[in-house]
Structure 1
C-alpha cells in the first residue's frame, strides 16, 4: 500500500470530527464525545500544525497528533478510521507513525502515548510494537473521569 502523510487539512478535520463514529465501546473516541477535543480538531489555530493525516492508496486511513514535550520526547495521539479498526492494521499504522515522527524530529529518543485502560485492543497493539506501560492515571474527559495508561517506547 502506498502511504502519504501530510499536515491535516480543514476538510479532513471536519470529516474526522463529524463523520468518524466508532462502534461501542469505542465511541469514547468519537471527536464529538468531548467538546474540547472536538474544538481542537476543527480549529486550525488549535491544531497548530501538530495534526497529521495518513492516506493509503488515496483513501484516508487515519490521523495522529505529535506534541513535542521536550527536545527528546514526543507524545502521540492517534486515530484509525473507524471501519478499519479491529482488522489487523494497528501495528503497521503505529509503526509508520513512529517512523515518520523519528524522521521529522530526529532528536527525539522517546515516544509516549496515553490510552484508555478499557481499550485492551489498543494496549495489546502498542505492546506488540515495543511500548511498555509506565503508569495509570485518572483523566477528566467526555463528561467523566476515566482510567488511562501512559505508555512509552525508547527509539534510540
Structure 2
C-alpha cells in the first residue's frame, strides 16, 4: 500500500540522487536550483510506503509536459497531464501496475476526469512504460523530437 505526501525538500533531495541504468539514465536529473524549485512548485507529490519509504513521485499539469512539445501541437487538446517516476531499484520488476494504479486513483479522486482525457508524455525508447500505459487504456496520440529524445503523448479518454 502506498501513501501520498506533498513534495518537500527532503524527498526532492533523495529523488535527485536517483541514478537509472542505460538507456533509462536519460531520466537522471541534476540537482540545480531550477529543478528543486520545479519539484517544490506544488505540482509534485511523493509516493511512500506505509513505512515512509520513498518509492516514487508524480506530477500533474504543465509540470508533466515536455516544453518543446508545444511547438509540435502535442498539448493543444485540453487534457490532464500526468508525469511520474519510480525509484530506480524498483523499476523493471513488475511493480509498475500497482504503482500506476495508485497514481491514477489519486488523480481521479482529486480531479474530475469524467469529461477530460488523461495524457502522459513518454520517451519512445521506454517500451516498458509504453506497454504498461497501453494496458491501462492509453493510446498513442502525438510524436515529437525534443532534440534529445523522441517523445510520444498517450491519451486515455
- The interval holding the TM-score normalised by the smaller chain is 0.7 to 0.9
Aligned length: 142
Structure 1 Cα separation of the partners of residues 83 and 35 of structure 2: 12
Q: Does 1:114 align with 2:108?
A: no
Q: Secondary structure at the match of 2:130?
A: helix
Q: Which runs of 5+ in 1 are unaligned?
A: none
Q: Secondary structure at the match of 2:149?
A: strand
Q: Is this contact kept in 2: 1:77–1:113, CA < 8 A? A: yes
Aligned to 1:27: 25
TM-score scaled to structure 2, two decimals?
A: 0.81
Q: Deviations over 1:28-51 (max 9, x none)?
A: 00112xx8xx5444126x632100
TM-score scaled to structure 1, two decimals?
A: 0.82
Aligned CA RMSD, in angstroms, stands at 2.1
Q: Secondary structure at the match of 2:94?
A: coil
Q: Deviations over 1:87-121 (max 9, x none)?
A: 01111211111110111112563110111111111
Q: Secondary structure at the match of 1:31?
A: coil
Q: Is this contact kept in 2: 1:135–1:149, CA < 8 A? A: yes
Q: Secondary structure at the match of 2:61?
A: strand
Structure 2 Cα separation of the partners of residues 52 and 146 of structure 1: 25
Bigger strand share: 1
Which of 106-115 and 87-96 deviates more? 106-115
Aligned to 2:49: 56
Aligned to 1:132: 139
Structure 1 Cα separation of the partners of residues 46 and 94 of structure 2: 19
